[in-house]
């Protein structure tokens, strides 16, 4: 595999599972120095150990990026350890409030917005100055297909992910002149532990139904998302910014 991220420092939130973990493995294999963040220290330490055993360079910082001070400290530690920050994949997110709009209480609404939108805002607020100081770089925010569509019973999650798309576009315009590119991923179904944990009592049936929703007839594997993240963070994508880019098996085209 190429070393296109040699000497580049990349931060990943939501790094210990699914798409975040796959991105960490891909970027480490391409030479990146990684700063990985999630709430669970044990899983983070295990991931770092595995990456280092494979020849990669990574460090783990336990962080809840729904809290601005922790998002800021994460960036500070990245720069303190490696001297710079060149890119980030803001991957934290999950649907936490399910059901019709009339059944979502205020606390659940705000919790969904905190996890899926405020976390990205806090990340960008503190990542962008570090990328400016490094002379530029790239950020990818995970918005999901519900950043451009709706779904019954997922109002707060969809509202938050639509917010991520708008935030991405506005921040990209704020930072373009300084050489910082910011894009959003529009992902479809991805075979992650989180997805499988929410499949209900008939998981195989639910997986088949999810696959059937996608014109390509399947859901993605995390490494497919990771490859696209790596492309967007690389200099090969140096003319792409402010975009919401679908990697969804044709889901949103329908």
As a whole number of angstroms, the distance between CA 15 and CA 37 comes to 6
- pLDDT-above-90 percentage for the chain: 87
Pair 172, 124: CB distance under 8 Å: no
pLDDT of residue 204: 83
Q: pLDDT tens-digit profile of 35-57?
A: 999 998 999 999 999 999 999 99
Fold classification of 9-247 (topology level): Rossmann fold (3.40.50)
Pair 9, 82: CB distance under 8 Å: yes
The structure tokens 């790596």 sit at: 230
Q: pLDDT tens-digit profile of 114-163?
A: 999 999 999 999 999 999 999 999 999 999 999 999 999 999 999 999 99
Among candidate residues 182, 160, 42, the one with its CA nearest the CA of residue 97: 160
157 is an active site residue: yes
User: pLDDT band at residue 70, thresholds of 50, 70 and 90?
Assistant: very high
User: pLDDT band at residue 1, thresholds of 50, 70 and 90?
Assistant: low
Q: Where are the domains of the chain?
A: 9-247
Distances, alpha carbon 78 to alpha carbons 41, 57, 87, 130, 205, in Å: 16, 13, 11, 9, 43
Mean of pLDDT values over 51-78: 97
Mean of pLDDT values over 227-249: 98
Mean of pLDDT values over 204-210: 85
Residue 87, strand partner residues: 10, 138
Question: Which token pair is 4?
Answer: 């296109």
Please identify which of the residues 157, 228, 247, 251 carries the catalytic annotation.
157
């Amino acid at each position: 595999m190429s070393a296109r991220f040699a000497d580049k420092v990349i931060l990943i939130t939501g790094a210990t599972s699914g798409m975040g973990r796959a991105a960490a493995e891909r970027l480490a294999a391409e030479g990146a120095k990684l700063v990985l963040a999630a709430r669970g220290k044990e899983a983070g330490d295990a991931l770092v150990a595995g990456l280092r055993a494979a020849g990669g360079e990574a460090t783990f910082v336990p962080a809840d990026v729904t809290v601005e001070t922790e998002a800021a400290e994460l960036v500070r530690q990245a720069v303190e350890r490696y001297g710079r920050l060149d890119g980030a994949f803001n991957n934290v997110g999950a649907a936490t409030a399910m059901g019709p709009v009339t059944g979502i209480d205020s606390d659940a609404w705000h919790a969904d917005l905190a996890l899926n939108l405020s976390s990205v805002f806090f990340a960008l607020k503190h990542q962008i100055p570090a990328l400016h100081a490094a002379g530029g770089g790239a950020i990818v925010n995970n918005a999901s297909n519900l950043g451009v569509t709706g779904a019954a019973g997922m109002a707060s999650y969809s509202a938050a992910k639509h917010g991520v798309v708008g935030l991405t576009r506005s921040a990209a315009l704020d930072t373009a002149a300084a050489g910082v590119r910011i894009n959003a991923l529009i992902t479809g179904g991805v075979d992650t532990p989180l997805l499988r944990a929410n499949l209900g009592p008939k998981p195989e049936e639910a997986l088949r139904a999810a696959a059937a929703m996608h014109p390509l007839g399947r859901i993605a594997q995390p490494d497919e998302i990771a490859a696209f993240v790596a492309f967007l963070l690389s200099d090969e994508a140096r003319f792409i910014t402010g975009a919401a880019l679908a990697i969804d098996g044709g889901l949103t085209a329908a």
